[in-house]
Amino acid sequence: MATAITHDPLILEFSTEDRLKIDLAAERLLAAERDQQKIAVEVKSFLSESALFDFHLALGQFLNYRLALNMLEPDRYLYLAVPISAYDSFFSRSFPQAAWQSTT
């Protein structure tokens, strides 16, 4: 599956006062469908002393970006990228899993 970065960052002009910046946008070539899938990726480092604090920030940003994308670019899928260490140690816990599942 080939991927090409199309925006770094992806800027969404929601209104004259509200401009959002998602870290990356890309297009993936889906061989089975011979089509392109547009994606946006918000990258979070989870480097503060509180993974829960980082999660609150990431989740809030993700929800806002998803709302804007649904209105402005509904054909683009949004992903959250986190370090493997944060995924293994924090996202495996029950609260983050429940919170994340409630967004889908």
- What's the residue count for the chain? 104
DSSP class of residue 26 equals: E
Residues 6+ apart with CB under 8 A from 45: 54, 82, 83
Could you state, in order of their start, the residue ranges of all structural domains in the chain? 3-101
Residue 45 CA to residue 7 CA, distance in Å, equals: 20
Degrees to nearest 5, angle at CA 38 with 45 and 51: 15
Q: Is the pTM of this model over 0.85?
A: no
Residue 57 pLDDT: 93
Please state whether the peptide bond connecting residue 83 to the residue before it is cis, i.e. omega within 30 degrees of 0.
Answer: no
pLDDT at 104 over 80: no
Least confident window among 18-27, 53-62, 73-82, 91-100 = 18-27
Residue type, 67: L
Higher pLDDT: 90 or 26? It is 90
Residues 3-101, CATH architecture: 3-Layer(aba) Sandwich (3.40)
pLDDT at 34 over 60: no
Q: Is 45 exposed, middle or buried (0-12, 13-18, 19+ CB in 10 A)?
A: exposed
